[in-house]
Amino acid sequence: MRLIIVGSLEGQLSAASQIALNNGAKVIHAPDEATALNLIRTKGADLLMIDVKCDIRGLLAQLESEHITTPAVACGVGSTSDDAVAAIRAGAKEYIPLPPDPDLIAAVLTAISDDEHEFIYRDRNMIQVVKLAEQVAASEASIMITGDSGTGKEVMARHVHSKSRRKAKPFIAVNCAAIPENLLESELFGHEKGAFTGAVARRIGKFEEANGGTLLLDEISEMDVRLQAKLLRVVQEREVDRVGGSGAVKVDIRIIATTNRNLQEEVKLGNFREDLLFRLNVVNLNIPSLRNRPEDTRALCKHFARKYAEFNALPLKNVSDSAMKVLINHNWPGNVRELENTIHRAVLLTTGNEIGASDIVLPDGRPHIEIQSGSSHQADNTPEGTEPLAAISLIGRTVADVEKDLIIDTLKHCLGNRTHAANILGISIRTLRNKLNIYMSDGVNVPGPGTTPPQSGY
């Protein structure tokens, strides 16, 4: 855990630093926001602890503009509840009152370190994959984790890191699909000041930031072929060239990559380098889809029901047998992410202390209605002017029109979260954004990103 403390903390700096050091954190002090920004660019950080008197919003906005994601907690002496609320609204994850409480700081450090990526598995199909993962974790072999979107590939990668000899070192994840193509090279390899327009200072890349630890290249199939050539050299030589730099920098890392595509097919299509695939796919961990892991579905339903009851300050709600039957029998094309959103909605919709089958809203946006078997006269009892969902005709509609409705409905289901919607739809985030831009230019009301719940890394 690399912690940067920003500001003076009104005389409580040494006490807060000592508590963090006692809990295993490596602490650096930055007297002001500019120094903190430079330290993050050059050394990286897992957490910022910022004095409420600093410009929290400005610092976090600058980090976001440079595609640097570092969580922050705010600290203050004698601050009012308004100060705490303002800090949270500015982007801080937590507020810690000063003088510092050792247990509170330890809890925050633990929470950030765990990063809410709890690994839950019970099904025998998943147990076999985990067993193989733990068997190879202690090696230095590169690992390719494959599986459908939302199955838990990043969680598996973190589990491998936690069982490796590098577990005390950084775990750095890069989503190759979420970063614009023209910025991904700088994000991975870093850049020197003035290397391109907007390069206001030297910045280390994710490879250097992960030095000694593990680098996760998430959705690597979305990486441009030209950048794959540079990545291949880094994998082979274990050294990086910063954009605009004059010399190579040695790095000691273990690489884990994930993909939801068939990379053998991508190689045939010319979208992925075969030599890079050979380098990364030393060990393959294939994660089964959730529909093939019924015991995991059962365990995850209970976990998410408890998690979102606590998150929304609601009483604990049990999942009834009828609801569990619906959940286990559903196909879950969006896998664990889709299940998580479904349970979150059920927790909010349920008025009693138990989630019933009617509280389960499936991806079509309609509550589940249990149809009794053996009703031979069902059609005769259907109210006039209505028809079963499966019988609704699409004849007369264009493919583009149907696709638009599917995308918009999925986005609504995901509370406007573009990444989750793209995963459920089985398209890249770049493709989704392009289509949404077209819809908005045509005057379509596209759902904006809403207040999304904390995710579990699936």
What distance in Å separates the CA atoms of residue 256 and residue 157, rounded to the nearest whole number?
7
Q: DSSP E strands: which ranges in 337-450?
A: 354-355
Taking a C-beta distance cutoff of 8 angstroms, is the pair 254, 213 a contact? Answer: yes
Work out the widest C-alpha separation in the chain, in whole angstroms. 79
Q: What is the predicted pLDDT for the residue at 393?
A: 46
Neighbours of 363 (CB within 10 A): 18
Which of 261, 260, 254 shows the shortest CA–CA distance to 279?
A: 254
Question: Where are the CATH 1.10.10.60 domain residues in the chain?
Answer: 393-458
Give the full edge-to-edge strand order of the sheet including 2-6.
Answer: 26-30, 2-6, 47-51, 72-77, 94-98
| DSSP codes of every residue in 216-230 | EEETGGGS-HHHHHH
What distance in Å separates the CA atoms of residue 352 and residue 105, rounded to the nearest whole number?
36
CATH of region 393-458, choose from 3.10.310.30, 1.10.8.100, 1.10.10.60, 3.40.50.11890: 1.10.10.60
What distance in Å separates the CA atoms of residue 217 and residue 221, rounded to the nearest whole number?
10
Q: In this structure, is the dihedral angle defined by the CA atoms of residues 97, 99, 104 and 110, taken in order, positive or negative?
A: positive
Q: Are strands 94-98 and 214-218 parallel, antiparallel or unpaired?
A: unpaired
Question: Where are the CATH 3.40.50.300 domain residues in the chain?
Answer: 124-288
Q: What is the predicted pLDDT for the residue at 113?
A: 59
Q: Mean pLDDT of successive 10-residue segments in the chain (458 residues)? A: 83 80 80 89 82 90 78 79 81 82 75 64 92 94 94 93 90 86 84 76 86 94 91 92 84 95 93 95 95 93 88 86 92 90 87 88 56 38 36 59 83 77 77 83 77 48
| CA distances from residue 102 to 4, 85, 207 in whole angstroms, order as listed | 17, 22, 33
Which two structure tokens, joined as six digits, stand for 305?
Answer: 């029901």
Q: What is the predicted pLDDT for the residue at 256?
A: 97
Taking a C-beta distance cutoff of 8 angstroms, is the pair 63, 38 a contact? Answer: no
Q: Cis bond leading into 333, ω under 30°?
A: no
CATH architecture of 124-288: 3-Layer(aba) Sandwich (3.40)
Q: Give the residue carrying structure tokens 């912690």.
A: 3
Which two structure tokens, joined as six digits, stand for 421?
Answer: 């919607």
Q: What is the predicted pLDDT for the residue at 388?
A: 36
Q: Which CATH code for domain 291-389?
A: 1.10.8.60
| Helical segments of 138-256, H only | 153-162, 181-189, 206-209, 225-237
Q: What per-residue string of b and e applies to 401-434 under the rule 16 or more CB within 10 Å gives b?
A: eeebeebbebbebbbbbbbbbbbbbebbbeebee
Distance of CA 389 to the CA centre of its chain: 33
Distance of CA 324 to the CA centre of its chain: 26
Q: What is the predicted pLDDT for the residue at 373?
A: 39
Q: Fold for 2-114, please state it.
A: Rossmann fold (3.40.50)
Q: What are phi and psi of 284, to 5 degrees?
A: -110, 130
Give the full edge-to-edge strand order of the sheet including 254-259.
Answer: 171-175, 214-218, 254-259, 143-146, 283-286
3-state secondary structure of 395: coil
Question: Where are the CATH 1.10.8.60 domain residues in the chain?
Answer: 291-389
| DSSP codes of every residue in 46-100 | SEEEEETTS-HHHHHHHHHHTT----EEEEEES--HHHHHHHHHTT-SEEEEESP
